[in-house]
Structure formats: C-alpha cells, structure tokens
Chain A
Amino acid sequence: MKNVFILLLALVIAFLGCRKDEVEGPELQDIFGDFEVFEGLSSDRQTVNFENGEFVRFSAKLSIRTDWVITVEGMDSGAKYEIEGRERDIEADVATWAGNITYAPLFGTEDCKTYMTFANYPDTLYGDTIVVETIKPEALIDVLISDFTSAAGWGSFAEAPAANQQVTGSYFVQNPLNTTEFLEVVSPEGEGHWRMTYTNQNSIFICGANVLAAQSQQEEVSDYFVLGTTNPDNVYINMLIHGFGDGNTVMSIGMQEDDNLDGTYDRFTEGTYNTEISIDWVGWRVVSVPLSSFTLSTIGGFGNIDGTGNQDIDRVLSMEFLLLAVEGSTGFVGYGMDYCNFTRYSAWNP
C-alpha cells in the first residue's frame, strides 16, 4: 500500500509538470483590447546607401494586433515600397527595406517619406524622412518573356459572344500597336505594355493574350521556355501589373505544356497549369508567383488532361494570360502588364 501512495504522489508531481506555455487561438488582447500606439513609427537610420548593402529597419509598438501597412514613398519619383503585417511589436524581422519597390517606378537618389496606416483605424503614424544616397543594384532576371515593346511573340484572342454566352457586348484588347488610348497609363518599363480592358456585364471570361516561347525574348532559341531547372519550386514568374482599382479584375495565367513534345499544344490531351491573381490595387505593382503554385486546369477540353501526369516546366510551349471578372460582378475590369519574366531560386526584386 505504501508503494501505491508513493506512486500516486509521483504521478501528481508529474502532472503538475504537464503545463504547456502555448496559447490556443488568437490572443484575447487583440480581439477585445483597445487600439493604442505604445511607440510610434521609427527607423534605425535617416540616410541609406543601398549600393553598399545597407537596410532600413522600422519599429513600432501597438496595443493590439491589427492589419497595418508601412509605406516608403519617393518624394521625387513617386515610387512606393509597402510592408504589410499584423504584428503588435513591429521590429526588423518583419519591417525592413532594402531599396526595392512594390509599385513602379524605381526609387532614385531622393528623400523618401515613411508612414504607417491601419486597415481598421483611421490613424496614420508618420516616421522619419529617409535620404537615399545610392540606389540598390539592378535586380536581374533569367528569362524575359516579353517587355511588350514590339509585336513579336504575342497575340490576342477572344471567344465570340455566340460561342460563349457569358460574354456580351464588345471587348477590347489594347496592345502596343493599337494607337487607340482608352486609359492613359504610362509604361513602367520600356515604351510599351500589354493592356486588356472591358466593360463587364456579368461575365467571367473576357479576353486573353498568348505569348509563344519560340518568339519570346529569351536568349536561347527553343520551342520551349528554357528555365534551367525542372523543379517548379525554384522558378518564379514575375511581372509588373497595373490595377485600376475596380476590385473585380482577375488575371489568369496558364502555362501550356507540349506533353508529347510534338511541337504543338493540344488542349484536349495536353495539360495547362493555371494560377489566378486578384487585382485590387491601383498602379503598377510588382507581382511574383512560384510556378509550384500553378495547378492543373479543371476546365474540360482546356488543358485539364495532363499527358504526362506531372507539371513539366521544361515543356511549356506558350503562356496564356486571361482577363477574368469576379463572378457576378459588373462594370469596368482591366489590367496592364509589362516586363514579364522568369527568375530562378528567388522572386524578382526590383
């Protein structure tokens, strides 16, 4: 009996040690606390030399977790870099600027203002003005799909209203050779860019653009995009996308594979891998997507059957860019696209 009680006592002590410090669920402080700024926005330096690899680190302290955006804005160029987060204690690990942009154009040697805004509160915290003494080195790319400065390598298409009842009215694909200007948008890079706009009447698919690999601006001439690896985790598609702020525009990107290597793409027997980007911003924004986030088409007769059963990024014969509208929405939809490229191992970071 004595041993039994010793055993029970040992178990009680062991139980008291079974306490975990982790917190289940979101913190109550963030849900029920009042918003208060404990420490305003500040940066660890007022001048920065990006060419030498310097960074600007921001910090602030809030009473609760809430969605925030720290913006760095070039006072001459208008370039913008945005850091989005939801932390309570904002420190260098989540708020560092290396001279890159979120919205084109690029930063110059200029004064930049910094400020912090909140999605759920009207407050704006202003930080230090930062002087850029030297800009960051140019961000390199590996394969340029198109910078849309010429007509080579791309074409447009659309399904007629009769063939696709979701499309009614007129559509318009505004390409670099079309001199008609519907909306004034300055190209962020080079002299041309691709643009698709439409006044949507409850449509889903609007119109699209095709870029062929052989006619793209990659250095190595090939039927296929030469990406230097077959691992989709290691390749990013990058581009500048112009949003008009309508909130209803969706860009769909399709990578059409020549699974049987016969030099043509058959949408009934060969796969198309897609991804979609919701465009809810205004201006030219840098967008990067890893190819591993592309998934096989689910639309019957449009690349939903993969001839090899795998995503083969070394067999991509052509790229397809579609203008889609959010289902059930009406009104203007559209986007601009420029300097579309691939990078290996890391996203393009201009």
Chain B
Amino acid sequence: MKTRYILLFIVGLISCTDSFGQTDKFTVYGAGRFVLQNNSRSGQLFEQSIVGNDTIPADTVSTRREIGGVALFDLGFRIKPNSSTEINALTRVSGDLDGFWGAGIGFTFRELYVRGIVRNKVRYRVGDLDLKMTPFTVYNSDPDLGVHRMSSLRLFQDILEYENFNRDNMWRQQGAQVDFKFSVGKKGDRIDVMSYITKNRQTDYFFVPDRLMTGGQVAWNREGFGRVFYQTNNFFEIAETAQFADGTSATSVHSVGAEIAPFENKSLVLYGEVGTSYQGYEDLDNAPEREMNGFVDLGIRVPSKNNKFGFYGELLYVSSAFRSPGAQSRRVNYNSTPENLSFQTNQETARPLTAFDLIQDASVYNNTIAVNLQNFNPAFSNVLPFGKATPNRQGLLVGTVREADSLFVSKVGVDLGLLTEVSGQGISDYRNFTMVDVNVELALNQLWGGKSETNIEAHLHMEQTARDGLISDSPAVEGIGALDLSSNYFEAGISREISPGLALHIAAIGLTANGNEFIALRDVYGQVNDFTESIYDFSDMSYMFGMKYSFSPQSHLQIQYRTSDITDDLAPTTAYQWNQFIFTYNMFF
C-alpha cells in the first residue's frame, strides 16, 4: 500500500509539471528504463571432462538459464526558491520484473544537493558533488577496455556512466564545495578559486574512523594565453570517531601545472604538471616512514581543426610510491561478482568477469574513492591500470586524432604508449610496456552519397608487457622474473540506418590474453610484500546483432541478441557459452 501511495505521488508530481511544472522555479528531470534479459549458458563447464588421469565432474549446480529484468524510473526535481538558490533531488523507484504486485519495489534517493550563489560572487554546492581536477589529483580515469564503444554498445555505456555517476571522469562524493573568481591586473587576468570538503568514509564507531577528503585549486587565467594552477587533494582520518581505532593515516597530493597556447591562433598548446604526494601514519604498527614521491607530466598538443589531424606528445614520470587516491582509484572492481549468471562450478565460485560484464554490468564498478591501490586484472589492463597516475611508470605517450563528419573516414584516432618502470618489482630489471589503441569510424554512405547512415566502426587496443628474467649460472634461479604478456581487445561492427531513427547492427568484440605476469600483492599500507605469478591463455569472444530505434538523441530502444564464447586453454573444463537476448528501453529527460 505504501508503494502505491509513493507511485501515486510521483505520477501526481509528473502531471503537475504540465500545469505549473517546467517553469523557471520548478523543473523535473530524470530517466526511465526497462530491461528484459534472457541469459543462458552451455558448454564444457556442464559436461564431465577427463584431464590426464583425473575425471572432472560436470557442473550440476550452476544455473543454466536466467530470465529477468528491471523497470526503473528516476524522477528529479530542480527547485529554485529564489534567483540565487537551486535544490536538486533525484528519486528512484525500481522493481524487478518478477516483483509481482509491488513486491521488491525499491524507493531510494539517488541524488540530493543544493547549490547557489552568494552576493553574485561565491558559488556553493552542498550535498552530492561531482569532482574532477587533473589525472594526477582528482580524476575518475577511464575503465578497463576504454570508452571507445561502438554504436551497438553505446547505450550500455550511457547507462553505466549514469548509474555510477562517472560522466566526464567525475567522482561522485558527498560534502560541500565553494568557488569564486576575481579579476586581477589590467590585461583581463582572472584568478579562479575552488575548494571542497567531502566525507569519503563512514566510521563503524569502533575500529574504522571517519575519513575526510579536502582539496581545491587556485588558477590564474589569461585570456588567449592559458592558465597556471596549483591543486591539492588530501585524505585524513578522524581518530576520535572510532573508539578503538589503532591509528590513523593521511595522504596528501600537491601539484602545480600550466596550459599555455603561445601562438594567437592556438595552433599549439604546451601543458605540464608536476606534483608530490605524502602518505603518513600515526600510531599504526609497522607503518612505513613518511615518504615524499612525485610525478612529472609534460606535453605538447596540436588541436585538430578543419578536418586536419591533430596530435599530442607527452612525457610521463610517476614514481613507484606516488599515491593519489583521487586519481588512482579504479572503476572496475575485480573482486565483485557479476549480476548475470553469477556463479559457476559445483563449488559455486563467483564467475570471473568477462569483457561483456564490464560493458554491461553496472554492479562490477566501484563508485567511490579508495585510499589504497586496488586489485586489477593484467589481462584487461596492465600498462596504465590506475590511469595516467599509475605508479612506477615513465615514458612517452603520443597520438593523433581527426574527426570529420562529412568524410568517408569520419573518425580516426591512434594512441601509442611506450613506457617502462621507474623501479624494478622484485627484480632489478624493468618491465617494458607497449600500448597501441586504434579507433576508426568509416561512413560508407559517403561513398555513394547516401543520406541513410551506414557506418563501420572498429576499435583495437593492444598491450604488451615484457621483462627479462634473472641471469644466473644456477638453474635454481636462472630466468626467474621473466614475463611476456600480450592482451588484445577489439570491437568491430557495422550499422545501417533503414529508416529515420531505426538502425540495424551486427558486431563482434573479443579479448584475448596470452603469457604470464607477476602480480604484486600489497599490505595495508600499499607496500609490495609478495608476488603471485599468473598465467593467461584465454579467449573471450562475443558476436551480436540487433536493432536500435532512437526516439530522440536521449531516448532509445534496443533489441539485441548476443553469444559469447569464453575459453581458457589452461582450464579447458571451465569453457562455456553465454547467450543473451536483451531488450532495453532507456530514456533521459
């Protein structure tokens, strides 16, 4: 009954918007989604196998098929009680498809903040904040597999970023933020000031203290020339909030940087940032000494203009103990269990994440900043798993890009990374990293001048990691530490518009990884205290086709059938095939 009243309340509010709704003082916004899925799996996993002299029993426990879905409706209210104040509240009503008669319906607040301006000078925001500074201070780096999704998968990406508040590389936090700007000098120079304080972690009242994050930026801007800035981001714990806390930790990052266009036509941009980090502990046993570490990032960029290629080149140095949680926290959580077909084997172990889980499943993503370096899977990302702030990296990043809607090659981008370590891990030799990322979109209809879009999209991301092993006369240790890991991820597809707004697509994605890697295990202070060697020889291929109808740029209906083959040559008995039919309707308003 309660749920019914809530729904009536929401419907009432929506209907009100017709009469007094979309005014300057009251606006509604939100999203609606309906997803229906039919997931099934088959393959060797469910059959008895014989490996050598061992008989591997068939998986008789795990689910073969799951049918389900979700309907949800987000309704936000933007209220302006006066010209200098705005209140935003976003509510969500959601229910599983099998939640008959209202059972399983959830009602939550997804977003709540107030923002405004004081005396036309100081802007403020309290409640939910979206924070971003630079890739070395506060920045929600792109997830593993990147963000170059082809059109047949872009709807999933929009949903993921919406669900986890990851848009534009922002981190969603809760706290308060103020910013203001003022002019200085006679050349129109301007100083921008921004600061924030958020609560990063909630105490458990006994052993885990509250953790706060503070920071800000001061930037000097000169119109037509560029800007110089100082940034800081700090984490610290409040010992008094947990009566039995052993001690506290604190991390701070400071950086200065500049972005300068020396020529009037802005045909060249020089940019760079230099910074340090400190990590300290109080009253914690075996804590490492407070140590200063840092990074340097210097680059040059020629922007793409008038259908010409633009390019960039960048030198990167990040020391091995540089710690910047706001920039190094990862989006993908490899300790999570996927939402679909969650378990496998008779022991009901969590199904390892596949490429499609990362593309489609919002639940495998972190949604807050973690102070310690998180686990990552080298098969998915090994060159820069913590973004540009990945510790223990130095080298060169270069790339080129061109976007031209009216040309046959409507988009092309190539990025190359040549990096090495700053310190050896477990051995004095360094890992050498090579990363190649190619992204191409071809507008076939430009060949015959057709108006209906026919596009071929391809994305290739290759990573190679190599290191020489130990040189010794003794076979007991000769070659130890040698590694050679290569991973390749691709997306390729073709889409054809058959009537206005309606397009058909056929596509494939694949992730393969071969080789070995030594994964560093870290203690609670983030220091490497052990290694485990992992060997990879797997293939994760998916093929899909479907149709998508766009009611508007922000409202889509997509129907897709996909089949995925996941094979691991090192564990052939776990190979399985995952078939999915998915109906998705999504709208943002």
Q: Which residues of A contact B (CB under 8 A)?
A: 1, 4, 8, 11-12, 15, 18-29, 31-36, 38, 63-64
Residue pair B528, A26 in contact (C-beta under 8 Å): yes
Question: Which 8 A-B pairs give the minimum distances between C-beta atoms?
Answer: A25-B528, A28-B426, A34-B476, A36-B476, A33-B477, A63-B476, A28-B481, A23-B424
The stretch among B29-37, B229-237, B529-537 that forms the contact with chain A is: B529-537
Residue pair B529, A26 in contact (C-beta under 8 Å): yes
Residue pair A12, B531 in contact (C-beta under 8 Å): no
- A25–B474 Cα distance when bound, in Å, is 23
Chain A residues positioned under 8 Å from B219 (CB to CB): none
Name B477's contact: one of A8, A22, A25, A34 (CB within 8 Å).
A34
- A31–B474 Cα distance when bound, in Å, is 16
**Separation in Å of the B375 CB from the closest CB of chain A?**
16
Knowing A8-B300, A25-B528, A28-B531 are in contact, say whether A33-B425 is a contact too (CB < 8 A): no
Smallest CB-CB separation from A32: which chain B residue?
Answer: B480
Chain A residues positioned under 8 Å from B426 (CB to CB): 23-28, 31
Name B518's contact: one of A19, A28, A34, A35 (CB within 8 Å).
A28
- A12–B528 Cα distance when bound, in Å, is 29
Which residues 467-489 of B sit at the A interface, judged by CB distance below 8 A?
470, 474-477, 480-481
- A64–B428 Cα distance when bound, in Å, is 15
- A24–B320 Cα distance when bound, in Å, is 8
Chain A residues positioned under 8 Å from B533 (CB to CB): 32
Chain A residues positioned under 8 Å from B396 (CB to CB): 12
CB 8 Å contact bits of B522-560 with A (1 = contact, 0 = none): 000001111101000000000000000000000000000
Residue pair A25, B480 in contact (C-beta under 8 Å): no
Chain A residues positioned under 8 Å from B425 (CB to CB): 23-25
Task: List, sorted by A's number, 16 A–B pairs whose CB atoms are closer than 8 Å.
Answer: A8-B313, A19-B394, A19-B422, A19-B430, A23-B425, A23-B426, A24-B320, A24-B528, A25-B530, A26-B531, A27-B426, A28-B427, A29-B477, A31-B426, A32-B480, A36-B476
CB 8 Å contact bits of B430-463 with A (1 = contact, 0 = none): 1000000000000000000000000000000000
- A12–B319 Cα distance when bound, in Å, is 16
- A38–B470 Cα distance when bound, in Å, is 16
Q: A15-B296, A24-B423, A28-B426 are in contact. List 8 more A-B contacts (CB 8 A).
A: A8-B300, A12-B396, A19-B394, A25-B528, A27-B427, A29-B480, A32-B480, A32-B531
Name A11's contact: one of B315, B320, B528 (CB within 8 Å).
B315
Chain B residues positioned under 8 Å from A31 (CB to CB): 426, 530-531
Name A21's contact: one of B428, B470, B527, B528 (CB within 8 Å).
B428
**Separation in Å of the A300 CB from the closest CB of chain B?**
14
Knowing A4-B300, A26-B530, A28-B518 are in contact, say whether A18-B477 is a contact too (CB < 8 A): no
Which residues 368-391 of B sit at the A interface, judged by CB distance below 8 A?
none
Residue pair A23, B428 in contact (C-beta under 8 Å): yes
Chain B residues positioned under 8 Å from A27 (CB to CB): 426-427
B255 interface contact, C-beta 8 A: no
- A258–B516 Cα distance when bound, in Å, is 63
B392 interface contact, C-beta 8 A: yes
**Separation in Å of the B458 CB from the closest CB of chain A?**
32
- A31–B425 Cα distance when bound, in Å, is 13
Smallest CB-CB separation from A22: which chain B residue?
Answer: B423
Residue pair B476, A25 in contact (C-beta under 8 Å): no
Smallest CB-CB separation from A8: which chain B residue?
Answer: B300
- A326–B188 Cα distance when bound, in Å, is 73
- A8–B314 Cα distance when bound, in Å, is 10
Name A63's contact: one of B270, B315, B430, B474 (CB within 8 Å).
B474
Chain B residues positioned under 8 Å from A26 (CB to CB): 426, 528-531
B46 interface contact, C-beta 8 A: no
**Separation in Å of the A181 CB from the closest CB of chain B?**
41
Smallest CB-CB separation from A1: which chain B residue?
Answer: B268
Chain B residues positioned under 8 Å from A8 (CB to CB): 298, 300, 313, 315
Smallest CB-CB separation from A19: which chain B residue?
Answer: B422
- A23–B317 Cα distance when bound, in Å, is 17
B520 interface contact, C-beta 8 A: yes
Chain A residues positioned under 8 Å from B300 (CB to CB): 4, 8
Knowing A8-B300, A11-B315, A29-B470 are in contact, say whether A23-B477 is a contact too (CB < 8 A): no
Residue pair B476, A35 in contact (C-beta under 8 Å): yes
Residue pair A15, B476 in contact (C-beta under 8 Å): no
- A31–B394 Cα distance when bound, in Å, is 27
**Separation in Å of the A127 CB from the closest CB of chain B?**
22
Chain B residues positioned under 8 Å from A24 (CB to CB): 320, 392, 423-426, 520, 528
Name A28's contact: one of B315, B317, B475, B480 (CB within 8 Å).
B480
Q: Which of A24, A34, A64 has the most CB of B within 10 A?
A: A24
- A12–B300 Cα distance when bound, in Å, is 13
Which residues 289-322 of B sit at the A interface, judged by CB distance below 8 A?
296, 298, 300, 313, 315, 317, 319-320
**Separation in Å of the B293 CB from the closest CB of chain A?**
11
Chain A residues positioned under 8 Å from B296 (CB to CB): 15
Smallest CB-CB separation from A37: which chain B residue?
Answer: B476
Residue pair B422, A38 in contact (C-beta under 8 Å): no
- A57–B73 Cα distance when bound, in Å, is 78
Residue pair B481, A23 in contact (C-beta under 8 Å): no
Residue pair A12, B529 in contact (C-beta under 8 Å): no
Residue pair B480, A4 in contact (C-beta under 8 Å): no
- A28–B516 Cα distance when bound, in Å, is 14
Residue pair A64, B477 in contact (C-beta under 8 Å): yes
- A28–B478 Cα distance when bound, in Å, is 11
**Separation in Å of the B472 CB from the closest CB of chain A?**
8
Residue pair B422, A33 in contact (C-beta under 8 Å): no
Knowing A8-B300, A28-B518, A28-B531 are in contact, say whether A23-B423 is a contact too (CB < 8 A): yes
Chain A residues positioned under 8 Å from B520 (CB to CB): 24-25
- A26–B527 Cα distance when bound, in Å, is 10
Smallest CB-CB separation from A16: which chain B residue?
Answer: B394
**Separation in Å of the A27 CB from the closest CB of chain B?**
6
**Separation in Å of the B373 CB from the closest CB of chain A?**
12
Knowing A32-B480, A34-B477, A63-B476 are in contact, say whether A25-B531 is a contact too (CB < 8 A): yes
Residue pair A18, B423 in contact (C-beta under 8 Å): no
Smallest CB-CB separation from B425: which chain A residue?
Answer: A24
Residue pair A33, B394 in contact (C-beta under 8 Å): no
Residue pair A20, B529 in contact (C-beta under 8 Å): no
- A64–B296 Cα distance when bound, in Å, is 37
Chain A residues positioned under 8 Å from B518 (CB to CB): 28
Chain A residues positioned under 8 Å from B430 (CB to CB): 19
Name B474's contact: one of A15, A18, A36 (CB within 8 Å).
A36
Chain B residues positioned under 8 Å from A32 (CB to CB): 480-481, 531, 533
Chain B residues positioned under 8 Å from A28 (CB to CB): 426-427, 470, 480-481, 518, 531
Residue pair B529, A18 in contact (C-beta under 8 Å): no
**Separation in Å of the A156 CB from the closest CB of chain B?**
33
Smallest CB-CB separation from B424: which chain A residue?
Answer: A23
- A15–B481 Cα distance when bound, in Å, is 25
**Separation in Å of the A15 CB from the closest CB of chain B?**
5
Chain B residues positioned under 8 Å from A29 (CB to CB): 427, 470, 477, 480-481
Residue pair B317, A63 in contact (C-beta under 8 Å): no
Which residues 90-114 of B sit at the A interface, judged by CB distance below 8 A?
none
Chain B residues positioned under 8 Å from A18 (CB to CB): 317, 394, 422
Smallest CB-CB separation from A35: which chain B residue?
Answer: B476
- A23–B300 Cα distance when bound, in Å, is 32
Chain A residues positioned under 8 Å from B320 (CB to CB): 20, 24
**Separation in Å of the A298 CB from the closest CB of chain B?**
11
- A11–B296 Cα distance when bound, in Å, is 10
Residue pair B477, A63 in contact (C-beta under 8 Å): yes
Which residues 256-301 of B sit at the A interface, judged by CB distance below 8 A?
262, 268, 270, 296, 298, 300
**Separation in Å of the B532 CB from the closest CB of chain A?**
9
Chain B residues positioned under 8 Å from A21 (CB to CB): 428
Chain B residues positioned under 8 Å from A36 (CB to CB): 474, 476-477
Smallest CB-CB separation from B518: which chain A residue?
Answer: A28
**Separation in Å of the A333 CB from the closest CB of chain B?**
25
- A11–B300 Cα distance when bound, in Å, is 12
Chain B residues positioned under 8 Å from A4 (CB to CB): 262, 268, 270, 300
Residue pair B529, A25 in contact (C-beta under 8 Å): yes
**Separation in Å of the B176 CB from the closest CB of chain A?**
38
